[in-house]
Amino acid sequence: MKDILAAARALAHSLSPFAALFVRLGVGLVFLHHGVAKYHMGIAGVAGFLGHLGIPLPQVAAVVVIGVETIGAGCLVIGLLTRFWAACMAVEMIVAIVVAVLPTHHTPELEGLLLAGALALIGIGAGPISLDRLFGKKA
């Protein structure tokens, strides 16, 4: 039994350099999926949805949301400006939870996971397998 536990610890330790990569890919690809859908809706479509929720300056907010969910998500996947984009995504998820999810009495499962992932990336950075690390940023 001790050998199995030692092997499990060794395996877990060998995966630790990939932890940030796994979180970046998970959070980034989900945001990218939603961002591409919003891109296809267009600024007017997204602004209409945001305006219906009571978001001020819905056209500006639509551009920001589409940018965070496409450009930001792509940057997160490759590990470029990770903490900045993760912070943008965390703010977006807080707004989504407060403005869109909780008032409808739904459970913010996806939004909560994306918020947790974004907050984790703010804390741990891009990790060693990233463009941030390649360019010498502290990951």
Distance between CA atoms of residues 86 and 73, nearest Å: 9
Q: Tokens in use for 128?
A: 């060693």
Q: Give the model's pLDDT for residue 138.
A: 58
Where do we find the tokens 């001020």?
Answer: 56
- Give percent of the chain with pLDDT exceeding 70: 98
**pLDDT tier, 8 (very low <50, low <70, confident <90, very high otherwise):** confident
Among candidate residues 32, 46, 53, the one with its CA nearest the CA of residue 97: 53
Supply the pTM of this predicted model.
0.90
pLDDT tens-digit series, residues 58-74: 999 999 999 999 999 99
Strand, coil or helix: what is 122?
A: helix
Distance between CA atoms of residues 49 and 34, nearest Å: 14
Among candidate residues 80, 72, 77, the one with its CA nearest the CA of residue 136: 80
CA 116 to chain centre: 9
Amino acid identity, residue 97?
I
Higher pLDDT, 29 or 16: 29
